Amino acid sequence: MKLELGNFYVKDIVFGDETSFNNGILTINKEEALSVVKEDEHITEADLVIVNPGDKVRLVPVKEAIEPRCRVSGGAVFPGVTGKLIQAGNGRTHALKDCSVLVVGKHWGGFQDGLIDMSGEGAKYTYFSQLKNIVLVADTDEDFEKREQQKKNHALRWAGMRLSEYIGNCVKDLEPEEVETYELEPVIKRSEEVAKLPSVVLVMQPQSQMEESGYNDLAYGWDCNHMVPTFMHPNEVLDGAMISGSFMPCSSKWSTYDFQNFPTIKRLFKEHGKTLNFLGVIMSNLNVALEQKERSAQFVAQIAKSLGADGAIVAEEGYGNPDADFIACIVALEDAGVKTVGLTNECTGRDGASQPLVTLDEKANAIVSCGNVSELIKLPPMETVIGELQSLARDGLSGGWEDDEILGPSVKEDGTIIMENNAMFCGDQVVGWSTKTMKEF
Amino acid sequence: MKKAILYLNQFFGQIGGEDKADFAPVIEEGLIGPAAELNKKLENAEVTHTIICGDNFMGSKQDEAVETILNFLEDKEFDIFFAGPAFQAGRYGNACGVICKAVKEKFGVPVVSSMHIENPGVEMFRKDVYIFQGGHSAAKMRKDVKTMATFGDKILSGEKLLPAEEEGYFPRGIRHQVWLESKKPASDRVVEMLVKKLNGEEFETELPIPKADRVPIASPVKDLSKATIAIVNTGGIVPVDNPDRIQSASATRWGKYDVSNMERLKGGEFKTIHAGFDPAAADANPNVIVPLDALRAYEKEGKIGKVHEYFYTTVGTGTTQAEAARMGKEIVEHLKEANVDGVIMVST
């Protein structure tokens, strides 16, 4: 499987007559773009705003981030989700770099939604403050979940994917500035030089805790709750086979943009043939029932062992209940003789004194940690808010609250906010961006 | 100028040696012993008082010592409290820990001490007190005092405090997120750690897992029909007036309550003081946590020999493992003395 990712670096985004890319300038025909958004009649109101790093802008409730792309070799960017089911990870895909499509609710937020500050103290808490963003601010008629804390955000998330593909299509016929090539020989047909290196798998645990459909991450459109771990080519992940869900407290969430750019996968590719032999990805999940957790851990260990893996990285999209899957998987791999490193965040409480993961095991002796979900963050008012600031307090965002005996409400009258890291949009960057770690005080 | 107060034992407080270890606490205006050195090194505060207490007095009459000292401090203005350095002196280390913890809880000021790594006070109080890693003996007095003063100055000036490892105090079990100066992303860290692990090289986990302290499973009771069975619980079931003043969270106390004349625990006579769950069900029927009613039934049926005269209670929520282990060991002594054969341990 050979994937060519053709990159177009975006220096500026403007609105104009024709959606096009020229010399680093991405021009978007707003009207046409909005008509793509409104193809779904459930979208009742929609607008597009361009925000850049350094802008005095606060975005909340942010629901999704997607990199604008097109599949040059034909077919939907997200097979099985936005179009017909085809194999991802093979052929040519073009991507607009340094930018993302952000989907923001015009009013209503939920447990899984987050906040982004494009400048000031708050900017460091999310990856997306350093990107040029095309922000879709919209509302829907999905009244059944308007006041639900858990929202599927279906219309908005799918609108975001359509929009990103519409924008991405403007570079379909252009020659990219650079082409990244990702290719792995079949596992048992690798050169002796590569085969003699320690063999490594990446075990991904995407979010799948909800029993009802519509909330979990999808693999080729299939609910990750309804699968047992399976072997995937890393190219598939980088090329739209995985999309983000709408469930997890936001700082722990992996957005679709995160899947498309998964830094740990790219890092393993870089190391492939040098210090290790990258076998591929074992796609697992994070189901709630104990038996499901044990079943997944058993499948992962068996696949890793059957593939001949010497080492594994296990990355978890979540905290709390999923920590049980994370630790169980590491233990199962270690027991099978696969040397394993974990990649996660922690929940040590506002005072930092709580046990970092729900379960611990001495076999998990190598963990990279990307932050504390419950770290308390206070930020001054921001000149412009896109979306609705009150959603942070009112709608049960995982890091916000309506009132607190000591701290008062999350949103103050002057626009100051106090919140937990939990509600920072994909803030802990467990996919590998994170420059945060945890230290003992 | 901000103000600091220093705690010393009888020896460093210039009262005398071991023969004066029963010395009752006093507070002196001004600088005694190491207080002068501390005052010299502190830039953001002056040391206004020195408190001196004998190590044995603190050891054997802790409640009285703490109460006396807290009373001394009641009308004093101070912004930070120091104790020691205690070097490797075990009783002194304990005294510094006890008083620092009490002062922090009562007055909410930062508390700073210094001890040698092998001083038992380190393990006992590292979670409550900034304890700096100090020397073995008084030969390191100047250095250790300087370390305490430097950190004190840092706190008082509001400067950002670095992780324990970088500041030099024993980690307090508190974990917070920090941004790496190297800006090295997690993707690099995780792959590098894996390569090291695969190659058998040294690596440093970012989340050290504490060693599990496993208790082996007891051998089964041979003949239940002749056995004395006791109930112990961490669900906070106590007589309604909570006579032992067991705390509702982070408990350090436990109690034993006579049930030899009771068929069951009655709501209104017993209740839960546990702060970690909705108490409604347990208050209405305390037997849901202390199943005396069920055990009495077994007793009548002859399934068990008898129910032990007392049940034992503490509260589990927020209680440290060290305190829980200590209380457990104390309770076990009572159970052994009463020849209890088996225990039902109810957690909540």
Residue B120 belongs to domain with CATH number: 3.40.50.2300
CA distance B249 to B182: 40
Tell me whether residues B191 and A264 touch, CB distance under 8 A: yes
On whether any CB of chain A is under 8 Å from the CB of B345, the answer is no
Q: Where are the domains of chain A?
A: 2-183+190-423
Q: How far apart are CA B6 and CA B206, in angstroms?
A: 36
B206-255 confidence digits (pLDDT tens)? 999 977 777 888 899 999 999 999 999 999 999 999 999 998 877 889 99
Per-state percent for chain A, helix, strand, coil, to nearest 5: 25, 30, 45
Examine the domain organization and report whether B12 and B161 are in the same domain.
Answer: yes
Q: State the Cα–Cα distance between residues B222 and B44, nearest whole angstrom.
A: 67
Range of the domain at B74: 2-167
Contact A375 B194 (CB under 8 A): no
- Decide if B314 contacts B193 (C-beta within 8 A): no
Query: What's residue B348's pLDDT?
Result: 83
The reply to whether residue B207 touches residue A365, judged by beta carbons under 8 angstroms, is: no
Residue B23 binned pLDDT confidence (cut-offs 50, 70, 90): very high
- Cβ of A360 within 8 Å of Cβ of B161? The answer is no
Give yes or no for residue A329 having a pLDDT over 90: yes
pTM of the model: 0.84
B63 and B157 fall within a common domain: yes
Q: How far apart are CA A248 and CA B297, in angstroms?
A: 47
Look at A362 and B183 and tell me if their CB atoms are within 8 Å: no
Residue B259 domain-assigned (yes or no): yes
- The nearest CA of chain B is from the CA of A178 a distance in Å of 22
Share of chain A above pLDDT 90, in %: 96
Domain count, chain B: 2
Q: Name the average pLDDT for chain A.
A: 97
d(CA A414, CA A420): 19
Greater confidence (B323 vs A45) lies with: A45
Please give the angle made by the CA atoms of B320, B321 and B325, to the nearest 5 degrees: 120
B24 touches chain A (CB under 8 A): no
Domain termination residue (choose one: B145, B167, B189):
B167
> Residue A371 has which token pair?
């932050």
Helix (H) or strand (E) holding A373: none
Tell me the average pLDDT of chain B. Answer: 95
Name the helix (H) or strand (E) containing B261. none
Asked which of B167, B192, B211 is the last residue of a domain, the reply is B167
Please name the member of B164, B177, B190 whose beta carbon is closest to the beta carbon of A371.
B177
Query: Would you state the pLDDT for residue B267?
Result: 96
* A380 phi, psi to nearest 5 deg: -70, 170
For B209, which of A268, A360, A433 is closest by C-beta distance? A360
Interatomic CA distance for residues A348 and A135, integer angstroms: 33
Task: Please name the residue of chain A whose CA is at the shortest distance from the CA of residue B210.
Answer: A362
* DSSP one-letter string for A14-50: EE-SS-EEETTEEEE-HHHHHHHHTTSTTEEEEEEEE
- Check whether residue B261 and residue B163 sit in a common domain: no
Residues B137 and B28 in one domain: yes
**B51 assigned to some structural domain:** yes
Task: Kindly state whether A361 is in contact with chain B, defined as any CB-CB distance less than 8 angstroms.
Answer: yes
Among candidates B164, B185, B205 on the partner chain, residue whose Cβ is nearest the Cβ of A365: B205
User: Do B15 and B155 fall into the same domain?
Assistant: yes
Quote the percentage of chain B above a pLDDT of 90. Answer: 88
For A368, the closest of B161, B175, B189 (CB atoms) is B189
What does the DSSP 8-state code read for residue A12? E
Residues B8, B157, single domain; the answer is yes
Q: Do A311 and B198 touch (CB under 8 A)?
A: yes
Same domain, B336 and B251: yes
Report chain A residues whose CB lies below 8 A from the CB of B183. 435
**Alpha-carbon distances of A159 from A42, A51, A105, A379, rounded to whole Å:** 10, 19, 12, 30
In a domain, B302, yes or no: yes
With pLDDT > 70 as the criterion, what percentage of chain B qualifies? 99
Confidence of residue B318 (pLDDT cuts 50, 70, 90): low
- Chain B residues in contact with A366 by the CB 8 A cut-off are 193-194, 197, 203, 205
| Interface ipTM | 0.97
Q: Out of A214-218, B212-216, B288-292, B334-338, pick the least confident.
A: B212-216
pLDDT at B286 over 80: yes
Q: Please say which residue of B148, B167, B186 terminates a domain.
A: B167
- Tell me whether B164 touches chain A (CB under 8 Å): yes
Tell me the CA distances in angstroms from A326 to A208, A278, B54, B193, one per residue in order.
13, 21, 51, 17
Calpha distance B311→A428 (Å, rounded) = 47
What average pLDDT does this structure show over A246-265? 97
Cβ–Cβ contact B188 with A under 8 A: yes
Q: Which two tokens stand for residue A298?
A: 């058993």
Per mean pLDDT, which range of A21-30, B68-77, B213-222 is the poorest?
A: B213-222
Whether residue B85 is preceded by a cis peptide bond, meaning omega within 30 degrees of 0, is yes
Mean pLDDT in residue range B157-161: 94
pLDDT in tens, A292-324: 999 999 999 999 999 999 999 999 999 999 999
Confidence (pLDDT) at B295: 97
- Of residues B161, B172, B190, nearest to A368 (C-beta): B190
Is residue B178 in a domain? no
A364 CB within 8 Å of a chain B CB: yes
Same domain for B145 and B75? yes
Q: How many whole angstroms separate alpha carbon A226 and alpha carbon B156? A: 56
Name the residue in chain A with its Cα closest to that of B172: A441
Q: Which residues face A64 on adjacent strands?
A: A103
Within a domain: B193: no
A353 touches chain B (CB under 8 A): yes
In angstroms, the CA A283 to CA A203 distance is: 6
pLDDT tens, position by position, A64-79: 999 999 999 999 999 9
Contact between residue A407 and residue A350 where contact means Cβ atoms under 8 Å apart = no
- In chain A, the N- to C-terminal Cα span, in Å, equals 47
| Test mutation, A347, A435, A436, A438, chain B, max B CBs within 10 A | A435
Q: How far does CA A239 lie from the centroid of its chain?
A: 13
Q: Does residue B124 sit in the same domain as residue B233?
A: no
Which of A201, A238, A323, A341 is the best mutation test for B, with the most CBs of B within 10 A?
A341
CA dist B98 and A249 (Å) reads 40
Out of B161, B203, B210, closest to residue A366 by CB:
B203
Length of chain A: 441
User: Which element (helix H / strand E) includes B207?
Assistant: none
